[in-house]
Structure 1
Amino acid sequence: MGVSPLIWGITIAVILALLAFDYFFHIRKAHVPSLREAAIWSSIYVGLALVFGIVVFIFGGVDMGAEYFAGYITEKALSVDNLFVFLIIMASFKVPREDQQKVLLFGIVFSLIARTAFIFVGAALINQFAWVFYIFGLILLLTAGNLLKKDEESDEANNFIIRLAKKLFHTTDKYDGDKLFTKIDGKKVLTPMLLVMVAIGGTDILFALDSIPAIFGLTQNVFIVFTATAFSLMGLRQLYFLLDGLLDRLIYLSYGLAAILAFIGVKLILHALHENNLSFINDGEHVPVIEITTGLSLSVIIGVLVFTVLASLFSKAGKAQTAVANLRRHANNYTDLSYTADQAERERIYTELLEEESYVKTMEKKYRDKVKDIDKIRNEIIEAHRQHDEYLKN
């Protein structure tokens, strides 16, 4: 099914309107969204994506609809994995809780721009050179391997771009609300807010290099690739706050994503062999290989995600690791006075710390003690309790 310029125009206008609505009605006034607010808006954005998929099914047919849902689910899963990195970056820069929404919305907009550019470049390459499928397949296989040996330290925000920015420009370590620039002693300087956005933008480009080959492995329909990618990013800001504290629980998600990307990588290479025109492979002739259908791809993607999520949620080691990680995060957030100026938010954090601490005490000691830096974490929790006791005395 060909997509007319009118449909393209309406679709882009709707996506831009959703982003504008997000900014003017949610972001302009800095605040920490409640769990209820995050849940409602996450549901609305997922609902819009599902409604759009049903429309594609009705007007585009079963194959086009299945391709959209396979692409949307894959991109959504990769987006959730991206939230882990956003979490690490914002923790590195100690972004105030009230201003994290603005950083996330910037990340979403920049990601949409970067991925759109990659989509049209990728489509142009595919239309001209069938061998590009070989490259996309290898990229996904390498990405899958990197996910299996992923090291959190590689995601630190203080990367080369940030170090270069700090050397070339006047910067400050203090935030001035959500301003990108501020004045210190009459001189204009960059705030950490601008630097964190640069870090988020840089990682978005890396994410696009992985995600676009993945969705091209499921469909070569540019309209489906674009809309599935765009809708997967919509609501990511709300999802961040909804899953806050639960992201660490998904300890096996990277393994699941590695399996999915490897599967799509193999699918791409098989497709490349089927469409082969490289002279040094089978004398430039097509290689008779099986082609993986969209229906099978969709089933594998959903099956792997369900299995890895359930395995993460029910694993005793995973529960212990998550609970202790949450404890450390709550303790750090409570003792870091720059994290939030809202006293009610600080009390909420301390209440969650107490609840998580009680939960950890019910776990078997062998699982708790396996957590890295457990003694250091205990000291951080003791410090949080000490500061809270001092606050009550005053």
Structure 2
Amino acid sequence: MSEHADLLIIGAGPAGMAAALAAAPSSARIVILDDNPLPGGQIWRDGPQAKLPKQAQRLREQLENCGNVRRHASTRVIACAGPKQLLVENDERGWVLGYDKLILCTGARELLLPFPGWTLPGVTGVGGLQALVKGGLPVRDQRLVIAGSGPLLLASAATARHNGARVLRIAEQAGSAAVAAFAAQLPRWPDKLLQSFSLFDHHYRTGTHVLAALGTDRLEGVRLQQQGKIVELACDRLACGFGLIPNTQLGQALGCELDGQVLTVDTWQASSRADHYAAGECTGFGGSELALVEGAIAGYAAVGDRRQAQALWPRRARWQGFANTLNSTFSLDPRLKSLAQPDTLVCRCEDVPYSALATHTDWRAAKLASRCGMGACQGRVCGAATQHLFGWQPSAPRPPFSPARIETLSCLDDSPPA
């Protein structure tokens, strides 16, 4: 079974939705693939305890009203099936999806750094906690500590607090001077300034980072380095997030070049491969506003409407300025590389400690000797951690990109050779 799209969009977060809506008036046959049940990505994730902003609701409604846009929910890309063909799978079937042009809006995932106790039950990522709470996880009256870096700490705290959690501390590793300088620039982006007021929490502390999660069978407390002093807090949950890692694996598999850790794009959001575009956090981090305008530019450019795309360049430049300020403010302190102890697990899927990795010189050697990155997450967590800790470059992705059924893989037999 196969399908063909004039324009295929991978990812239905803000960038993907904006790309589809920009391209829709062209009457092109548009297909959106996303691994979530509903559009919105992580930032606008839906669930029993989620409250979607009006902008997200409006974009969803507009998308549903586009007769030439077809959305495949809960669908994953498994492999490249040939030139401009992908093998995809949902909960019911697998099939080959061909396309003329493609826009990658694959977003980003959390950077999780290992520290003593980070594998204890009760310790999660910051974005992970937010997703769990929106999905219905009860946190009422639970004592919560949030640690790491960036505005997501405040957003996650607000979601948990809204659902009854007791936020004891928000530990931001960036220093007070850097955060104050960032706050002083927020009037350049009035919406962000207003948002900062709604997210403010008096438990927020700068110059503070996690040292260890405490407990035996589950989390019982956390040890923090707070502005030069050691502080211990009893808590029921600890959420840590140290920024984001762009999801570039599919782009790399398709032959798109990288610029550092992100996909390379030009002013039209075009990648290094002809007819392949990219937008949103797989090209750099800047929040939903930047993702929306990048997605719209990519959508217009992909259907040949360069005039509309170029008209959005000033808006993109404005939000790129915010992104640059954000990323420089919350860059990680080098001291965070020393959190892990020799017995701290780095690859939690294969139980590989820091000491088993520190003697190696690159990712491949460490993987061959220790099985690091060969477990269920396929290096998505430990690969990013070792890249930060040791400067290792993870290997290029190999299919299948996600776990797949045998029947799905058999679809490759029916596709033309690459």
TM bracket (short chain)? under 0.3
* Larger RCO: 1 or 2 (CA < 8 Å, sep 6+): 1
Q: Specify the structure having the higher radius of gyration (Cα).
A: 1
Q: Which has the larger share of strand?
A: 2
* TM-score in terms of structure 2 length: 0.23
* TM-score in terms of structure 1 length: 0.24
